[in-house]
């Protein structure tokens, strides 16, 4: 597989971005008794659900068979799944086609768009910079951009990079192009690094959506500001930083943007329709803008994603690697009752898990790590929408028990 250094080869206008917070939708799906329906009683929804009936390995369909069934049931062109332990990959499986209506089968090394699962990667990059002394968990935007002393609103003066990464900075969501704050994205010019800096300045000049530090409010904008701070502190653009400090050392070869924008032989994304899907042309006007790449713009293969998950599993088990175990633990420590830095932390399938999901509308990705089980599972779809969410939830839960050493 050829090297795909994250880059923005062209700037395109955006018609819509990172629709309803997929992470929150995923938490609802995970904790609800029925896919796609929030539990009526939140306390009931957070209680662990009983595992499925025990089966022997001989009784279980293959992982590919599970993907085939879910894909057919939910009218999804392709699904991909990976399970790994800290020490190595357990299994990768794929099912379906790269583009609806075309014969090319999806491959195990194909790239799928992560959407907001990119946030955990950006938070990990921040952790690397903290270890190097370029930033700290309490660094404020004004400490990095002292020239903004008179331009940002007083309410933002004390927010920290931890607040930004845990969605407690009070910034707007930057999820819907019809929102007022989205105008800040459409008029940006210059290099990706220039755009992120100007975006951060404007975002911190806009009235907070909620009082900073008061409560959780999911925000793609927070990760854009955090990335701008990282760029200034390290004097290097985000795309180079994350490649040189994280992806390269782990042996990963991801891409920034839609998979088929970078390589025509990669999967296309698809919009969900009432009964089927509609292919999304990866070269059309719907492109994530440069400021939001750190919030939700990375595409990756299952094997490469497993390398990232192995780093986190090992750290959560107390083993130093590319990052110190203490830093990994910090990334997975809850700031409030559910949210950490780039992760949600909840009880899932009988054990505490770090979870997240991502979708910008044309792909879907979900992930869960169970440190106590030395297990991480991720499922990807090349379609967005409710059916993709339901299929990924169904497969993830099945895989949680398939690879649990204590089951079956």
Q: Is residue 8 part of a domain?
A: no
Q: Is residue 298 part of a domain?
A: yes
Give the pLDDT confidence score for residue 40 in this predicted structure.
32
Give the pLDDT confidence score for residue 313 in this predicted structure.
98
- Residue 246: DSSP 8-state: I
Q: 283 is written with which tokens?
A: 């070269």
**Residue 322: CB atoms within 10 Å:** 19
Yes or no: say if 354 and 343 are a contact pair by the CB < 8 Å rule: yes
Q: Can you state the percent helix, strand and coil of the chain, rounding each to 5?
A: 40, 15, 45
Q: Is residue 277 part of a domain?
A: yes
Give the pLDDT confidence score for residue 59 in this predicted structure.
60
Give the pLDDT confidence score for residue 177 in this predicted structure.
72
Judged by phi (left if over 0) then psi (alpha if -120 to 50, else beta), residue 235 lies in left
- Residue 53: DSSP 8-state: P
Give the pLDDT confidence score for residue 30 in this predicted structure.
52
Yes or no: say if 384 and 270 are a contact pair by the CB < 8 Å rule: yes
The pTM assigned to this predicted structure is 0.88
- Which positions ≥6 away from 329 have C-beta within 8 Å? 315, 316
- Which positions ≥6 away from 117 have C-beta within 8 Å? 296, 298, 356, 357, 358, 365, 366, 367
**Residue 133: CB atoms within 10 Å:** 8
CATH number, domain with residue 107: 3.40.710.10
Q: Is residue 5 part of a domain?
A: no
For residue range 93-115, list pLDDT tens digits in order. 999 999 999 999 999 999 999 99
Which of 112, 114, 116, 117 lies closest to 96 in space, CA to CA? 112
Q: Is residue 240 part of a domain?
A: yes
Q: Is residue 407 part of a domain?
A: no
Q: Is residue 304 part of a domain?
A: yes
Residue 365 CA: distances (Å) to CA of 8, 55, 185, 302, 378? 22, 27, 25, 11, 7
**Residue 101: CB atoms within 10 Å:** 8
Give the pLDDT confidence score for residue 386 in this predicted structure.
96
**Residue 361: CB atoms within 10 Å:** 23
Residue 308: which domain range? Answer: 22-402
Compute the distance between CA of residue 343 and CA of residue 23 in angstroms, rounded to an integer. 9
Compute the distance between CA of residue 166 and CA of residue 34 in angstroms, rounded to an integer. 28
Compute the distance between CA of residue 335 and CA of residue 166 in angstroms, rounded to an integer. 7
- How many domains does the chain fold into? 1
pLDDT tens per residue, the chain (408 residues)? Answer: 434 333 333 233 333 344 444 444 445 445 444 333 322 333 333 444 454 444 445 567 899 999 999 999 999 999 999 999 999 999 999 999 999 999 999 999 999 999 999 999 999 999 999 999 999 999 999 999 999 999 999 999 999 999 999 999 999 999 877 777 877 787 899 999 999 999 999 999 999 999 999 999 999 999 999 999 999 999 999 999 999 999 999 999 999 999 999 899 999 999 999 989 999 999 999 999 999 999 999 999 999 999 999 999 999 999 999 999 999 999 999 998 889 999 999 999 999 999 999 999 999 999 999 999 999 999 999 999 999 999 999 999 999 999 988 654
Judged by phi (left if over 0) then psi (alpha if -120 to 50, else beta), residue 129 lies in alpha
Q: Is residue 14 part of a domain?
A: no
Compute the distance between CA of residue 302 and CA of residue 315 in angstroms, rounded to an integer. 20
Yes or no: say if 118 and 308 are a contact pair by the CB < 8 Å rule: no
């Amino acid at each position: 597989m050829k090297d795909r250094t994250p880059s923005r080869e062209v700037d395109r206008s955006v018609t819509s971005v990172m629709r309803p917070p997929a992470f929150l939708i995923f938490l609802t799906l995970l904790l609800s008794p029925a896919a796609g329906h929030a539990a009526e009683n939140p306390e009931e929804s957070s209680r662990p659900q009983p595992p499925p009936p025990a089966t022997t390995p001989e009784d279980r369909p293959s992982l590919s068979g599970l993907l085939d069934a879910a894909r057919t049931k939910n009218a999804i062109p392709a699904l991909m799944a990976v399970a790994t332990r800290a020490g190595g990959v357990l299994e990768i499986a794929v099912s379906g086609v790269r583009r609806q209506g075309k014969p090319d089968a999806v491959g195990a090394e194909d790239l799928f768009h992560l959407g907001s699962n990119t946030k955990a990667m950006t938070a990990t990059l921040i952790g690397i910079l903290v270890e190097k002394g370029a930033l700290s968990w309490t660094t404020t935007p004004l400490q990095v951009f002292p020239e903004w002393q008179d331009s940002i609103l007083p309410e933002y003066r004390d927010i920290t990079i931890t607040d930004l990464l845990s969605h407690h900075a009070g910034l707007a969501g930057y999820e819907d192009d019809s929102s007022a704050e989205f105008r800040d994205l459409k008029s940006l010019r210059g290099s990706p690094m220039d755009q992120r800096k100007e975006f951060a300045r404007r975002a911190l000049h806009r009235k907070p959506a909620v009082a900073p530090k008061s409560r959780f409010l999911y925000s793609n904008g927070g990760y854009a500001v955090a990335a701008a701070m990282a760029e200034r502190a390290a004097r290097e653009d985000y795309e180079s930083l994350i490649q040189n400090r994280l992806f390269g050392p782990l042996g990963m070869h991801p891409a920034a943007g839609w998979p088929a924008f970078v390589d025509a032989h990669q999967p296309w994304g698809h919009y969900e329709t009432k009964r089927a899907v509609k292919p999304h042309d990866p070269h059309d006007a719907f492109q994530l803008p440069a400021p939001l790449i750190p919030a939700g713009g990375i595409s990756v293969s299952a094997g490469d994603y497993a390398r990232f998950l192995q780093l986190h599993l090992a750290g959560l088990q107390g083993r130093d690697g590319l990052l110190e175990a203490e830093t990994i633990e910090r990334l997975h420590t809850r700031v409030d009752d559910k949210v950490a830095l780039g992760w949600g932390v909840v009880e899932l399938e009988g054990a505490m898990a770090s979870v997240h999901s991502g979708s910008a509308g044309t792909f879907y990705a979900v992930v869960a790590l169970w440190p106590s089980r030395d297990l991480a599972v991720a499922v990807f779809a090349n379609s967005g929408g409710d059916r993709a969410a339901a299929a990924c939830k169904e497969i993830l839960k099945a895989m949680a028990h398939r690879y649990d050493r204590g089951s079956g």
